[in-house]
Amino acid sequence: MKNTYLVLLCAIVFSACKNDTSNQSQTENETGEIAKEVTVYTHRHYPSDQELFAKFEKETGIKVNVVNAKADELIQKMTQEGEQSPADVLITVDAGRLVRAKDKNLLQSIDSELLNKRVPSNLRDEDNQWFALTKRARVIAYALDRVTPVQLSTYENLAADTWKSKILVRSSGNIYNQSLMASIIAHNGEEVAKTWAEKVVLNMTRLPKGNDRDQIKAVVAGEGDLAIVNTYYIGKLLNSSDAAEVKAGEGIGIFFPNQEGRGTHINISGAGVAKYAPNKENAIKFIEFLASKESQEVFAKANYEYPVNAEVEPSELLQSWGTFKEDQLSLSELGRNNKKAVILFDEAGWK
């Protein structure tokens, strides 16, 4: 009997040791050395990102393995892979998606003094499971020949009768609109948010369709007077190789709403360390690198996004649009209110 107990005890100890080894934060190669790689699941597909990945490899000797796909596909992939997922880092656009990944238990908390210093508290998860890398403001683009800035004020004012049949905006299925609605819920409550959405629907010049750039083009074409868009897309139009797109970008004015109150709604692209990251330390180092002053300057100059690192100035183009007051709402609230936003959009008839 004693021998039986001894065998069982040894088996338990061996199993525990084996499990502990399999859950190490860094994988090891056949020689026992720490792996010099990091696998990044990313929704972003910009040359600036590839440039930074290559720079990280050169500076650290850590190879960056990139898996590109749409955000929802990456989240689903990580869910299906479970503990066997090779993902070390998830990068995606919109805080709502990052909160979704956290809620699905796909990310993990990390301890990084550098990230806490470089990324403002409202732009990172309260449990340090994700961190903003870039910012975009959701603004009102207006027809220069038909609207003056003095006519504009807040997101709430878009519900006024003044804008009857004059607003262009993409569908409620778009995460950017869902996050804007989530912020309105957070600030004003569900009842006010629903009424706002109902009145904006009545003020639409057409059923929602297309992306943000399409809304701007429609304003310039005279289909409507106002569009709700992300600043990033205006930069893309103005720097396009297509003359028609440049003309569209030049044909609108940019207005930052709610400057006398809470400030303009912003959203982000961001990153988090995967729950089962085989190379956790490399993953942390990688995200810290992307939040560094040097990397933030690349994001700011090449991709028409606002830096999150306060040491870095926006690009000349973004500076030409002027400074603005940002909504300081914790972006975690955008994820928490996402389901409510979708439901209220549906009830309001926002297609």
Could you please state the CATH topology (level 3) that the domain comprising 34-134+267-314 is classified under.
D-Maltodextrin-Binding Protein; domain 2 (3.40.190)
Closest CA to 39 of 93, 84, 103, 96: 84
This prediction has a pTM of: 0.86
Provide the 3-class DSSP secondary structure of residue 32: coil
Same fold, 34-134+267-314 and 136-265+326-348: yes
Q: What is the DSSP letter of 253?
A: E
pLDDT at 159 over 50: yes
pLDDT at 245 over 80: yes
pLDDT at 235 over 80: yes
Q: Which helix (H) or strand (E) holds 97?
A: helix 95-103
Closest CA to 165 of 190, 183, 137, 146: 146
- pLDDT, residue 13, reads 40
pLDDT at 207 over 70: yes
List pLDDT tens digits, range 265-305. 999 999 999 999 999 999 999 999 999 999 999 998 888 99
Q: What does the alpha-carbon distance between residue 233 and residue 316 come to, in Å, rounded to a whole number?
A: 16
**Beta strands 306-307 and 266-273: pairing type?**
unpaired
> What are the domain boundaries of the chain?
34-134+267-314, 136-265+326-348
So what CATH class is 136-265+326-348?
alpha beta
How large is the average pLDDT for residues 22-35?
51
- Cα–Cα distance list, 27 to 61, 277, 280, 283, 348 (Å): 16, 9, 9, 12, 50
